[in-house]
Structure 1
Amino acid sequence: MNTPALSIKAQLREAATDWWRSDAPTWVYVFKMVFAGLLALGIGYGLDLESPRSALITVFIVMQPQSGMILAKSFYRVIGTLVGSAAVVVFVGLFAQTPELFLLASALWIGLCTVGSAHNRNFRSYGFVLSGYTVALIGLPSALHPAVTFDSVMTRVSEIMVGIVCVGLVSALVFPQASAPGLVRIIRGRFTAFVDMVSATLGGTADRKQLEATNARFVGDIIGLEAMRSSAIFEDPEVRLRSGRLSRMNSEFMALSTRVHALHQLMNRLHANPAPSARVVIEAISPYYREVQPLLTRASGEPVMSALDAADAALKLDAYKRELPRRVRATRHTLSEQCQSDSAMLDFDTASELLYRVIEELHAYTLTYASLTQRHHEREQWEHSYAPKTSMTTALIAGARAAIVMLALAAFWIVSGWPSGDVAVLNAAAFCAITSAAPDPAKATRTVAIGVLFAAVAGYFYTFHILPRLDGYWMLASALMPVLMLAVYLTTRPAYAGYGLGICIFFPFLAVPDNFAHFNAAGYLNESVALVVSLIVTAVAFMLLLPPTTDWTVRVLEKQLRKQVVDACFGKLAHLALKFESGTRDLMHQITMFTSSRPLLRQKALGWMFATLEVGHAIIELRNELQGIRSEAPDLLPASAYAALNRLREAIPALFAQPSAATLSAALAANDATIAEVQAAIGPHYRERSERHRLQRTLSYLHFIRTALLDEQSPLHTMRAGGQNNTTGARHAT
């Protein structure tokens, strides 16, 4: 008879457990942020600050789920506010007597800050936003009353500091949610996913679409890991001790994923080649690929996951790497006796060289992952951090847009004499900067505007019907809590985050009284209209002034993506590979954000990313090899070979700068001529093994560049006249 009751009890327990795991963290976060906000408001009243609501708004502006993110955002908010405050003092001192010049200088400053915000990543961009916003927030009232400028600056900084201290303490002490566990999950999940991809790629079970989807996901993982690492170092000393290794892992992961993709593409081209020699090469090299997966598998048969497992895998990879060259030489000797085809030997040399590089970089990546178990390790010495690559064109457009919007509203304010025109100006300037980095800024601004409308209606009800009946801080906090909890909860839901942000910021702005409360219905309506109008004008500006969601923006980013190959050809070799890898993926991440609803554009850009990575990476490797030859054995190549290499170095950038059938044909001709020169330098005569190996590596890079240019799935394929290429150097083609 107790069975049904027990069953119901078990179901209730299971439901409670599921709720605790899924929804409870959200509600804990909501209560924490509301508590921190009301605490900051109470302290502001207690300290007799001029506008305690600024402390409350600061809490909601910097709120983030993890403590590290809050500390990072707070740090840049303080820096931005201090820089903006200094700018206010300078502008008021120079232009207080001429409002027009003051507004012009402020618009230029805000435009520059918006450029900085769009050009930077993570919370660093937020510091630029605050630097510009502070000039509008403090500078506009101060320009009307220059004598109180210093007092206004000190008051503003004090209010912000109260909010930051409150949100930081509450986040760290009340049910703290650290960033480090999430960082560990990302690292472990990415390593496991990458092991699966390597096993599938080298085992021959991965198709191109699957590989493209995986690589596209890895682009987001790389940028997400870097963002979380830069936040976690603020809260966790253990993460700070490993920050160099985490950055190193990101760099090694980018290089390794590029190498694995290149090897997969080369094998795909071999499989697509109907020539019998291609089949011979596949049969010769494939056994080596099948040997890689066991190296990344534990004794129990499960894939390597933790850093402890990675230590054992690193030992196996090291032993395999030491034996690989000897075994490949033996296989090559056997292959040369079976097959007299130059193209087959070139294919084998290129595939074996790529395989060795994959094993070498996989070993380094695994070593770095294994080193995370130790607090101090020699692999921590890594100074080459992730280098983002933002389009300066789009950043300048965002800055110009913010300046134009501010000047237009400022002109209307001066001409009309609108009492709340300053509110419209500073709010429009702030949201032009804040939403400029969003995938669809106009849509983001519209959702915030709807939240502002709700805040205006609810704020009017609170201000004129509830606040007059309240007595003291505790009653005020109780009255504010329901709306604030709703607003914070909405920010945790991606579809409603814009509405929640509008309520979080503007409901306190309109409804929370200053220390000297005053009730002015006309002033309230003026400010509400100013807020809504400023957001409408901002949304219209995003839709009319070179909107970032147009195909033109994607084409600009795509052109800059291809320009990465130009940088690979002519950039300084020091740290060039890392800059190339991170810059290419950062640009692709931006394109992915702008093309979320346009899969065809995204697919085309993804094709250019892979073409850029393949050719650019091979060019950098070729340049490194040639630098070694020039410095150690300059006579290894004749003058004609160096001349051919220089012509190739000119032809490849021309192709990616202006892709066309003519530039593609010129690049292929230059590549064929260079291959012929290097083959002649190798010759049939005797050479030392190290010299021959050096020349074969050079030849392998050149051959891989050719196969990448001829890839039928590359965007370059459509530029070949009639789908066919010239027959010059056909014997080298895969």
Structure 2
Amino acid sequence: MREAAADWWQTEFPNWIYVFKMVFAGLLALGIGYGLDLESPRSGLITVFIVMQPQSGMILAKSFYRVIGTLVGSVAIFVFVGLFAQTPELFILATALWIGLCTLGSAHNRNFRSYGFVLSGYTVALIGLPAALNPALTFDSVMTRVTEITVGIVCAGVVSALVFPQASAPGLVRIIRGRFTAFVDLIGATLGGTADRKALEATNARFVGDIIGLEALRSSAIFEDPEIRLRSGRLTRMNSEFMALSTRVHALHQLMNRLHDSRNPSAQLVIDAISPYYQEVQPLLTRSGGEPVMTASDAADAALKLDAYKQELPRRVRTTRAMHADAFGDEAILDFDTASELLYRVIDELHAYTLTYASLVQRRHEREQWEHTYAPKTSLVIASIAGARAAITLIGLSTFWILSGWPSGDVAALNAAAFCAITSAAPDPAKATRTVTMGVGVAVVLGYFYTFHIVPQLDGFWMLAAALTPVLMLAVLLTTKPSLAGYGLGICIFFPFVAVPDNLAHFNAAGYLNECIALMVSLIVTTVAFMLLLPPTTNWTVRHLEKQLRKQVIQACFGKLAHLALQFESGTRDLMHQITMVTGSRPALRKDAFGWMFATLEIGHAIIELRTELHGIRSGNPELLPDTAYTALNRLRETLPALFEQPTPATLAAVLGANNNAIAEVQRAIGPHYRERSERHRLQRTLSYLHFIRTALLDPQSPLQPMHQNQDARANTSSGNHSGASHAA
């Protein structure tokens, strides 16, 4: 019993605290609405359930963007009513275009900023359509609506912050600490040679979600905790450094895998020469007692050890290279230089990441100066489809409303537009809307019972609150269960909508049934729209996002070098996160997409580093490379985008040819003659980037491998035909 009670306390008790808090906040907003004699106090209650989140920081962030979205939408209402009140058709068209644009903006943003765009869109539908029917009351309607929403937001925020507060900051600390510890283990397994490819890819797949999740939690926590605000720049910096570091580790692991799979005898010599360095890294990330580094305080000591190791590494690698130079061939030298360069990059990125982690102990630190934010990447085509879907749904239902003269047609139109905008960001909007529709069905039945059998017999707010509490508690409790959240959300929002009376109560059964039919029709039409109008879960959507992911290589080849690495990294991972969200039940599509993500990250990063190195050579010592080398390198940069935009055997052959030509030109530039160490090192770095690109293109586990097989098949067919002809002759 004691164990069961402890388990319940850890798992279920926080959910019940959340249920009581949200119901209390909702009833508080309802009571204040009645006390202020607002037209529709239930709007405050519904607002509480819309902005409800487990942590107070999330509620504050969502509330902030809800207020901003409502205010922007209110301004749009005044404009549209002023221009088109006399022509309902133009008003509906303008509203549809506005909702479409806001839905597009929502798809282009992340976290609760996305929600702000949604609010500014459907506020025009929720308030604007009724206001257009009575233009003289527009100002009063807008001000009443804003007041009701504000009451709900204030109640949700105050109750969340004062009654058993659940802060976001402790969760953020746990995520940061857990991710650092997990990454230490990953580096030890990867560089120690105990991690296989599948385990590494699964870990990197998890890191994609962690990166997005940490950014979302950080953007919420800054609203509630001044300590998090003081460290916000460092948290953003850690996320950026983590992305770069995980890509480096994966690239190094892939290179070593290729060497292990190589049939070249000299590959084993390279492995034997470089492996001792890998085994020295994990001890740098352990405490004196042998435990791994976990806290930010421990990280300070690890950063000192990493810095000392980084300073000594180039000299030691040069010594090892000189010792094995006679045994290595040309190919092995390239492999050794590339592996050692990647190792140095890993140590450098790990040192920076550890320094930033260690700096979190201090309230203020110089590493806080970090202006490069996470840059999400969204397909304009898919965002435009989401906006067009919402606009088409609104226009379709509005047209039916006008032509039929349906008294509750405006309710159907505005709710369909609102739900099209709200659920467009869900991984499977049709499924999400279906579950909400079922919840609304329950809300309609319960609402009828309450409206016509319970509410007329109640006297005063306290009896109303007592009568509503059981249903509201059940609905909020359902939202805490992932599989039932849609049903709970439908009841939370629409049960108050149909069952809670206005200050001037009306008991009209015909009107009630009309509005309930309108609600059900709006949700059914929304579900059908998501199923028919290019649903986000189609294979076409996944392939399109995968193509956008591959196009990140174009950005790596031709984007401005300033902050390019961070933009490339975050954009690629954001696209992969979107693919992950819509391929939950299709692991084969997800696996293909992850293959392209790794290929894009590896080759894209190598191109960015190659361009950075060439920029330094051109600006500091342009004579270091001959014109033919510059021409060959430019040719490589021109052929790579074509390969990732349209992967075919021909485009792959063109890239490999350009890459081999560039390697030959840089090797000639290095030559056997004497050069300054800094000059030779620059050229060797350039050569290592080119060699890494070649190994990535030839990787047998790469999604480009089928192109090689097609080339080999054609070559064998051509060879067979030729030999057959000779034999016949």
What is the TM-score normalised by the length of structure 1?
A: 0.97
Equivalence map 1:84-233=2 (5 Å): 84-233=73-222
**Structure 1 outlier segments of 4+, above 6 Å:** none
Aligned match of 2:491: 503
Aligned match of 2:28: 39
Aligned match of 1:561: 549
Note the residue ranges of structure 1 that are not aligned, 5 or more in a row: 1-11, 728-734
Summarize the Cα distance change of 1:471–1:149 in structure 2 as closer, same or farther, 3 Å threshold. Answer: same
Letter in 2 for 1:165: V
Per-residue CA distance 1:550-578 (angstroms, 9 max, x = gap): 00000110000000001000000010000
Q: Does 1:527 align with 2:515?
A: yes
Per-residue CA distance 1:459-501 (angstroms, 9 max, x = gap): 0000000000000000000000000000000000000000000
Aligned match of 1:348: 336
Per-residue CA distance 1:390-439 (angstroms, 9 max, x = gap): 11111000000000000000000001101110110110001101111111
Letter in 2 for 1:385: T
Contact map agreement 1:317 1:359 (CA 8 A) in 2: yes
Aligned match of 1:404: 392
Equivalence map 1:149-548=2 (5 Å): 149-339=138-328, 341-548=329-536
TM-superposed deviation, 1:92: 0.3
Contact map agreement 2:649 2:711 (CA 8 A) in 1: no
Q: Return the alpha-carbon distance in structure 2 between the equivalents of residues 99 and 428 of structure 1.
A: 18
Q: Return the alpha-carbon distance in structure 1 between the equivalents of residues 192 and 2 of structure 2.
A: 45
Letter in 2 for 1:144: L
Aligned match of 1:577: 565
Q: Return the alpha-carbon distance in structure 1 between the equivalents of residues 324 and 255 of structure 2.
A: 19
TM-superposed deviation, 1:445: 0.3
Q: Does 1:629 align with 2:621?
A: no
Letter in 2 for 1:199: G
The residue matched to 1:519 in structure 2 has which SS?
coil
Q: Return the alpha-carbon distance in structure 2 between the equivalents of residues 166 and 267 of structure 1.
A: 57
TM-superposed deviation, 1:102: 0.5
Q: Return the alpha-carbon distance in structure 2 between the equivalents of residues 652 and 722 of structure 1.
A: 19
Q: Return the alpha-carbon distance in structure 1 between the equivalents of residues 62 and 369 of structure 2.
A: 27
Contact map agreement 2:649 2:710 (CA 8 A) in 1: no
Q: Does 1:668 align with 2:620?
A: no
Number of residue pairs matched by the alignment: 715
Q: Does 1:656 align with 2:644?
A: yes
Q: Return the alpha-carbon distance in structure 1 between the equivalents of residues 141 and 710 of structure 2.
A: 70
Per-residue CA distance 1:345-404 (angstroms, 9 max, x = gap): 000000000000000000000000000010000000000011111111110000000000
Letter in 2 for 1:125: S
TM-superposed deviation, 1:726: 11
Letter in 1 for 2:557: C
Contact map agreement 2:241 2:353 (CA 8 A) in 1: yes
Q: Return the alpha-carbon distance in structure 1 between the equivalents of residues 561 and 327 of structure 2.
A: 40
Letter in 1 for 2:100: G
TM-superposed deviation, 1:53: 0.3
The residue matched to 2:326 in structure 1 has which SS?
helix
TM-superposed deviation, 1:723: 6.2
Q: Return the alpha-carbon distance in structure 1 between the equivalents of residues 310 and 430 of structure 2.
A: 53
Q: Return the alpha-carbon distance in structure 2 between the equivalents of residues 634 and 118 of structure 1.
A: 45
The residue matched to 1:720 in structure 2 has which SS?
helix
Contact map agreement 1:136 1:426 (CA 8 A) in 2: yes
Moved more, 271-280 or 72-81: 271-280
Equivalence map 1:672-691=2 (5 Å): 672-691=660-679
Q: Return the alpha-carbon distance in structure 2 between the equivalents of residues 724 and 329 of structure 1.
A: 38
Contact map agreement 2:47 2:152 (CA 8 A) in 1: yes
Q: Return the alpha-carbon distance in structure 2 between the equivalents of residues 18 and 721 of structure 1.
A: 55
The residue matched to 2:406 in structure 1 has which SS?
coil
Q: Return the alpha-carbon distance in structure 2 between the equivalents of residues 17 and 343 of structure 1.
A: 61
Letter in 2 for 1:407: I
TM-superposed deviation, 1:301: 1.1
Letter in 1 for 2:5: A
Letter in 1 for 2:353: Y
Contact map agreement 1:651 1:666 (CA 8 A) in 2: yes
Letter in 1 for 2:489: L
Contact map agreement 1:665 1:725 (CA 8 A) in 2: no
Q: Return the alpha-carbon distance in structure 1 between the equivalents of residues 7 and 550 of structure 2.
A: 48
The residue matched to 1:305 in structure 2 has which SS?
coil
Summarize the Cα distance change of 1:569–1:13 in structure 2 as closer, same or farther, 3 Å threshold. Answer: same
Aligned match of 1:53: 42
Q: Return the alpha-carbon distance in structure 1 between the equivalents of residues 713 and 270 of structure 2.
A: 24
Contact map agreement 1:717 1:723 (CA 8 A) in 2: no
Contact map agreement 1:665 1:726 (CA 8 A) in 2: no
Contact map agreement 1:588 1:605 (CA 8 A) in 2: yes
What is the TM-score normalised by the length of structure 2?
A: 0.97
Contact map agreement 2:21 2:163 (CA 8 A) in 1: yes
Summarize the Cα distance change of 1:725–1:656 in structure 2 as closer, same or farther, 3 Å threshold. Answer: farther
The residue matched to 1:50 in structure 2 has which SS?
coil
Contact map agreement 1:67 1:168 (CA 8 A) in 2: yes
**Percent of aligned positions with the same letter in both sequences?**
81
Q: Return the alpha-carbon distance in structure 2 between the equivalents of residues 178 and 425 of structure 1.
A: 38
Q: Return the alpha-carbon distance in structure 2 between the equivalents of residues 144 and 367 of structure 1.
A: 61
Letter in 1 for 2:248: R
Aligned match of 1:720: 708
Per-residue CA distance 1:93-134 (angstroms, 9 max, x = gap): 000000011001101101111111111111111111111111
Letter in 1 for 2:602: E
Letter in 2 for 1:717: Q
Per-residue CA distance 1:136-156 (angstroms, 9 max, x = gap): 111111111000000001000
TM-superposed deviation, 1:721: 4.1
Contact map agreement 1:296 1:303 (CA 8 A) in 2: yes
Contact map agreement 2:107 2:383 (CA 8 A) in 1: yes
Q: Return the alpha-carbon distance in structure 2 between the equivalents of residues 18 and 269 of structure 1.
A: 47
Q: Return the alpha-carbon distance in structure 2 between the equivalents of residues 659 and 15 of structure 1.
A: 56
